[in-house]
């Protein structure tokens, strides 16, 4: 069962990262060049996929308990939504954008919801 879980996690990680890269490469320039207001989505793509892509990749490498996964998730959400943006605020790396903080938090919530959905479905197949 663990190999199925790991494959699912890796598939989610790769899919989310690839979608994020495609959206960054094509969608963001189109939106910016067309002066379309997409409510900041184009500017926050990286933050929206960061926690999902990272956590599911880490979870695909080893069998972690649910509490360990939740700790990873909290740590990744804090790092991607607060610490990374704080670097931008201090002008150490990138630019500060409060929308990225919100997107990072949303990414953490989505990651938790997807993880819980997968775990419930896998548990139903076992029991």
Q: Locate 77 and state its tokens.
A: 């959400």
pLDDT of residue 93: 75
Look up the pTM and report it: 0.88
Domain map of the chain by residue range?
2-126
* 3 state DSSP class of 94: coil
Contact 108, 81 (CB under 8 A): yes
Q: How many residues does the chain have?
A: 127
pLDDT tens-digit readout, 66-97: 999 999 999 999 998 888 888 878 878 777 78
Helix (H, G, I), strand (E, B) or coil at 64: coil
What is the C-alpha radius of gyration for the chain, rounded to an integer number of angstroms?
Answer: 16
pLDDT for residue 118: 95
């Amino acid at each position: 069962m663990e190999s199925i879980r790991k494959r699912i996690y890796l598939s989610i990680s790769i899919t989310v990262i690839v979608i994020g890269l495609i959206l960054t490469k094509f969608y963001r320039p189109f939106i910016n060049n067309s002066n379309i207001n997409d409510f900041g989505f184009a500017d926050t793509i990286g933050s929206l996929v960061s926690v999902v892509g990272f956590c599911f990749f880490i979870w695909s490498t080893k069998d972690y308990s649910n509490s360990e996964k939740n700790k990873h998730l909290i740590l990744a959400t804090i790092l991607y939504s607060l610490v990374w943006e704080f670097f931008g605020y201090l002008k150490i790396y990138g630019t500060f954008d409060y929308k990225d903080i919100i997107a990072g938090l949303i990414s953490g919530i989505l990651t938790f919801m997807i993880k819980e959905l997968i775990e419930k479905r896998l548990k139903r197949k076992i029991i």
